[in-house]
């Protein structure tokens, strides 16, 4: 049996202990921040929101944003804590796994936040399909963006479960100068969940348009 003193000596002999201490402290900080924002509704802890003028604040879906950021930070804290523990015990595969997951979670917190922000909510109110292509809409020149929309609108998706047919662009898809009719997982509005869909060319665009 190892006595407490032995354990303490072994821990002190492990040169990795400062990393464990910093990791656990960070983990604790993220979890507390996550709880304050998500459960405690301390919305002013959210960077960006706290300095926005009141009319802009009103345009946020702040309850949704707080839930998203709060849960994200708690998950991030747990992952950082676990990765620090694995690092300490020199189980590098565990460290790499949870450190990678933590990076992914950080990215998801950032990217997922936009749907609760004023700019996105304004676009979603004005044009839901444009909001579904937020990234392309923001980054591409309008001419290219509309060309991709036009190309994608020649396609439709058919739910393999319920048979619901939906315009592929309206469904949030992108299909430009593509061939073949693949099967893809995407959201079905009729089923209310992700389903396998057949992506096919619309009947109307299968025949050549009449010459004017
Ligand atoms: Zn369906």
CA of 171 to the centre of ligand 1 (A): 12
CA of 187 to the centre of ligand 1 (A): 8
Measured in whole angstroms, the distance separating CA 193 from the mean position of its chain's CA atoms is 17
Please tell me which residue, 140 or 205, carries the higher pLDDT value: 140
pTM strictly above 0.85: no
Task: Write down the pLDDT at residue 11.
Answer: 65
Where in 84-192 does DSSP place strands (E)?
155-159, 165-167, 183-188
Task: Write down the pLDDT at residue 1.
Answer: 64
59: Cβ contacts below 8 Å, ≥ 6 apart: 118, 121, 122
For residue range 121-160, list pLDDT tens digits in order: 999 999 999 999 998 999 999 999 999 999 999 999 999 9
Domain boundaries, the chain: 4-124, 127-203
CA of 181 to the centre of ligand 1 (A): 18
**Sign of the C-alpha dihedral computed for residues 40, 44, 48 and 54 taken in this order:** positive
Is 52 exposed, middle or buried (CB count within 10 Å of its CB: 0-12, 13-18, 19+)? middle
Nearest to 158 by CA among 143, 168, 144, 148: 168
Measured in whole angstroms, the distance separating CA 29 from the mean position of its chain's CA atoms is 22
CA of 158 to the centre of ligand 1 (A): 8
CA of 128 to the centre of ligand 1 (A): 20
Task: Write down the pLDDT at residue 211.
Answer: 59
CA of 50 to the centre of ligand 1 (A): 41
């Amino acid at each position: 049996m190892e006595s407490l003193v032995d354990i303490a000596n072994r821990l002190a002999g492990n040169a990795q202990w400062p990393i464990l201490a910093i990791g656990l402290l960070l983990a604790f900080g993220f979890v507390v921040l996550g709880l304050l924002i998500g459960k405690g509704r301390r919305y002013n802890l959210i960077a960006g929101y706290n300095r926005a003028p009141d009319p802009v604040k009103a345009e946020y879906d702040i309850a949704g944003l707080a839930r998203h950021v709060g849960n994200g930070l708690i998950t991030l804290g747990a992952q950082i804590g676990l990765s620090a523990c694995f690092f300490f015990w020199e189980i590098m595969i565990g460290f790499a796994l949870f450190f990678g997951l933590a990076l992914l979670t950080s990215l998801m917190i950032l990217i997922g936040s936009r749907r609760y922000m004023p700019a996105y909510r304004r676009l979603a109110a004005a044009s839901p399909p444009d909001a579904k292509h937020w990234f392309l809409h923001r980054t591409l020149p309008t001419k290219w963006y509309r060309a991709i929309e036009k190309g994608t609108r020649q396609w439709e998706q058919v739910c393999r479960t319920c048979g619901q047919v939906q315009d592929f662009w309206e469904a949030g898809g992108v299909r430009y100068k593509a061939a073949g009719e693949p099967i893809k997982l995407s959201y079905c509005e009729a089923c209310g969940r992700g389903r396998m869909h057949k992506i096919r060319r619309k009947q109307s665009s299968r025949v050549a348009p009449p010459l004017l």
